[in-house]
Structure 1
Amino acid sequence: MFIDIVTFCVSAFLLWFGANWIVASAALIARKYNVSELVIGLTIVAVGTSAPEFLVTLNAAFRGQNDISLSNVVGSNIFNLGFILGVMAMIKPLVSNRTIVYRDGLLLFLTTAGILAVSFTGTLGRFFGGCLMTLLIGYLIYLGRKRENVGAEELEETRGKVATWRDGIWLVAGFAAISAGGHLMVTAASSIAADFGVSSWVIGVTIVAAGTSLPELVTCLAASVRGKNEMLLGNLIGSDFFNFAGVLGLTCLLKPLPVSPEASSGLILLVAMVGLVMILLRTGWKLTRWEGGLLVGINLFRWAHDFMQ
């Protein structure tokens, strides 16, 4: 048991640092070759912060641990909108706007509801995975034509710096770290689930989900410290959409995922959570401290409920 817990902690740190290395080094390399900041934001930052979810989800899928695979994505999205968004609002109320609510939020809600509907068939297959990937590509093209500089804020730390040969090493090291971290996290999580006598779904939707959401948590905390709380809403909603359309879409495209009854229940909760967040963002166009506390409370209650089952 002790070894499994230590292994899980080590895997979380590998995922955390690996994602940060990928984002920073890839952004510098891309700028060196005159790749626009828009492209960097929409691709490198998105891939970097969602890399832990992707590696853990794909690793679990190909090892036949389908509950961990799907629960990681569902749990990460709930953790993002419940715990992380809630804590950030408690630190400082977050201002929303029509674009976040009616475009990005509605897209996330419809995507989540669509996944829930398909889950009742018992399998998320390759065709559906292709549909999710097509949706993601279409969304990125739309944003590109609108010339919205999504994700540029996260890259402030790289401004004024020039890429060197060391950045290539850091990029490779980042992918190696998340690859090793993803493998170790799935192994440790499965063992912990067996030791505690709880299902792989519960471990995946709680502990593994929190571990793979570390990049989003760190990014949001850094933004909060810099007083840029307004960007958090778009980043978290965008991250959740990328987790579903990108991470889950590509995973299903490579290997269809069977859906357990627990997974369907988790998706129902996530649809409700997304709907609640959209309502809270629309009322007064602000997420207040007490509303943030409500989201955190729901997340903690869900965790307690899952572990007691």
Structure 2
Amino acid sequence: MLSNIFFFVLSIFLLWFGADWIVDSASKIAKKYKVADLVIGLTIVAFGTSAPEFLVTATAAFKGLSDISLSNVVGSNIFNLGFILGLMALIKPLPTNRSLAMRDAPLLLATTAMILGLAYFDKLDRAAGVTLLAILGGYIGYLLVHSKRAANAMSGIVPEVEEDDGTQLSSKDWLKLLVGFIGIALGGEFMVDSASAIARHFGVSNWVIGMTIVAAGTSLPELVTCLAASLKGRNEMLLGNLIGSDFFNFAGVLGLTCLMRPLDVSPDALPGLTLLVGMVALVLFFIRTGWKVSRWEGAVLVALSIGRWVFDFMS
């Protein structure tokens, strides 16, 4: 049992540092070859920050652990919009804007509701994966067409990189990129195996473990990044980044996983997905109230997130 706990904690660090190294090194490499900030944000940074969720979800799917595979994505999204978003609003109210209210949040709500419908009919198959990836491609295409506005929207996600001074790219950046991918690959493997073993030991379902501990573990990079941004007074883009991360988790991570390996949907998935639809709708409502997420609204989101954890472990 102790060895499983050790490997679970180790997997969190591997996923955390692996994703951070991928984003940092790949962004520097892209800058060196004069890749646009928008392209970096939509591809390298988006993949890097969602790499823990993808590796855990895909690994679980190929091991036949569909409950962990789906619950990791659902739990991560609830954790992002509940605990992380609520905590950031408690620290300092988060400003919103019309794009979030009219485009990004409604798109996330529609996508989440569609996945709930697909899960209800047990249709998370390759056709669902193609549909989700098509939605993601359409969204990225829209942002690319409206590149100036999209570039401003992505400015809070893309890490600050020093301007190219003409020096040769360091081999350390390539090594960090390689080590980062190895780290998340091992982290995903360790997390799935150790989490399922812990669930069996305590008699807890794989779904509950995936919705809670695994989801929180794969969301740690987002939590640390948001805390750092908040402490530096850069709260303007936190809400948009969290909504974008949730959308990428569903359309990108879940879509690609379903394309590679269709998922079986257990009855345990439907309450969690229903809760997530309600939470996205609540966040959309909060966005429109005074065009900010206030501290009391943040407290509501944190309370819902903690309450859901308590309910999952007691049920």
TM-score range, shorter chain: over 0.9
Superposed CA offset, 1:123-159 (max 9, x none): 3010110000011011001001101114333444423
Give the aligned CA root-mean-square deviation in angstroms: 1.1
User: 1:86 corresponds to which residue?
Assistant: 86
The partner residue of 1:153 within 153, 156, 179 is: 156
Superposed CA offset, 1:84-123 (max 9, x none): 0000000000011111111000000000000001111123
User: 1:71 corresponds to which residue?
Assistant: 71
Q: Superposition pairs for residues 248-267 of structure 1, below 5 Å? A: 248-267=254-273
Q: Superposition pairs for residues 38-57 of structure 1, below 5 Å? A: 38-57=38-57
Q: Taking structure 1 as the reference length, what is the TM-score of the superposition?
A: 0.98
Q: Superposition pairs for residues 99-178 of structure 1, below 5 Å? A: 99-147=99-147, 148-149=150-151, 150-160=153-163, 163-178=169-184
CA–CA separation in structure 2 for the residues paired with 1:30 and 1:238: 21
CA–CA separation in structure 1 for the residues paired with 2:285 and 2:129: 29
User: 1:197 corresponds to which residue?
Assistant: 203
User: 2:310 corresponds to which residue?
Assistant: 304
- The answer as to whether partners of 1:45 and 1:151 remain within 8 angstroms in 2 is no
Structure 1 residues 22-31 or 152-161, which shifts more?
152-161
Q: Superposition pairs for residues 239-278 of structure 1, below 5 Å? A: 239-278=245-284
CA–CA separation in structure 2 for the residues paired with 1:141 and 1:222: 30
Question: Sequence identity, in percent?
Answer: 61
Alignment: residue pair count: 309
Q: Superposition pairs for residues 194-233 of structure 1, below 5 Å? A: 194-233=200-239
Q: Unaligned stretches of 5+ in structure 1?
A: none
User: 2:293 corresponds to which residue?
Assistant: 287
Q: Taking structure 2 as the reference length, what is the TM-score of the superposition?
A: 0.96
Post-superposition, which runs of at least 4 consecutive aligned residues in structure 1 deviate over 2 A?
150-163
CA–CA separation in structure 2 for the residues paired with 1:156 and 1:18: 16
- The answer as to whether partners of 1:87 and 1:293 remain within 8 angstroms in 2 is yes
Structure 1 residues 217-226 or 63-72, which shifts more?
217-226
- The one-letter code sitting in structure 2 at the alignment partner of 1:197 is G
Deviation at 1:31, TM superposition (A): 1.0
CA–CA separation in structure 1 for the residues paired with 2:185 and 2:133: 22
